Structure 1
C-alpha cells in the first residue's frame, strides 16, 4: 500500500455511496410513476457493489505480506459500483378505474417500497459519513507526518 491508499479507499467509498444515494432518491421520486418512456410502471433500481480488483482471499494477502514485509504487497483496495439492476419483485395492482393507465380497472404501480428505500438511505448516509471520517483521519495523519519531517 502506498501513502495515499487509505485516502483512495475512502474516496472510492464516498463515490460509491453518493451514487447509491442518488439511485435511492430516483427510486423515491418515481414511487408513483405508472408510465415510463419504456412503457409500464417504474421499477426500482438496486445498486450492486464489488471490491476494486476483486476480493483476494485471506491466505493470498497473508502470503503477500510475508514475502513483502515493507508494504504487505497488497494492492490498493476500495469499492466500486459493479452494476445497477432493476428490482424484479412484483408490481402492485391497485383498483382505480378512473386512471388513464387502468386496464380492466386496475393500475400497475411501481414496486418501490418507501420504507425499504428510507432504510437504504440511512445505511448509505452512514457509510458515506464513515468514509468522510476515515478520510479526515488519514489526512490528519499525513499532515502530522509531514510536520514531523
Structure 2
C-alpha cells in the first residue's frame, strides 16, 4: 500500500510540473508578442501557484496546481515609432516576460518532473523485486 501512495504522490507531482512547463513555454512563445493597436496591452506573463490537496482515499497530501494567474508587473517599453501600436512618443509596450527567467523555470520544472518519474521507477522496481521474493 505504501508503494501505491508513492505512485499517487509522484503522479500528482508530474501533473503539476507538466502544467508548470506548459505555462513557461506559453510565456516564452509570447515573449515578443506586441500589441497591434495603440492603447492595447501586449501579452501578459502567466504565473501559477501550487497547493496541497488531501487525497482521503489514499490518506496522503498531494501537490496540485492552485491557479494560473496573470503577472501584474509592469510592461517594458521599446522605442519603435513606426509600429502601429506606438504611443505619441514612439514607444510600444512589450510583454513582461523575461525569457531567461522562463527558461530557468522550465529547467526546474523538468528536473522536478524527472525526480518524480525516478520515484515511480524506483517504486516499480521495489514492487517487482518483492513479487520475485514471494514467488
Q: TM-score, normalised by structure 2?
A: 0.88
**Greater strand proportion:** 2
Please name the residue that 1:103 is paired with: 87
Please name the residue that 1:12 is paired with: 12
Between the aligned partners of 2:115 and 2:25, the Cα distance in structure 1 is 20
- Do 1:94 and 1:109's aligned partners in 2 also have CA atoms closer than 8 Å? yes
- Which of 49, 67, 85 does residue 69 from structure 2 map onto? 85
Structure 1: give runs of 5+ residues left out of the alignment. 55-73
Q: TM-score, normalised by structure 1?
A: 0.80
Q: Report the alpha carbon displacement of residue 115 of structure 1 after superposing the two structures with TM.
A: 1.1
Between the aligned partners of 1:46 and 1:93, the Cα distance in structure 2 is 21
Q: Report the alpha carbon displacement of residue 12 of structure 1 after superposing the two structures with TM.
A: 0.5
CA RMSD of aligned residues (A): 1.8
Matches within 5 A, 1:54-133: 75-104=59-88, 105-133=90-118
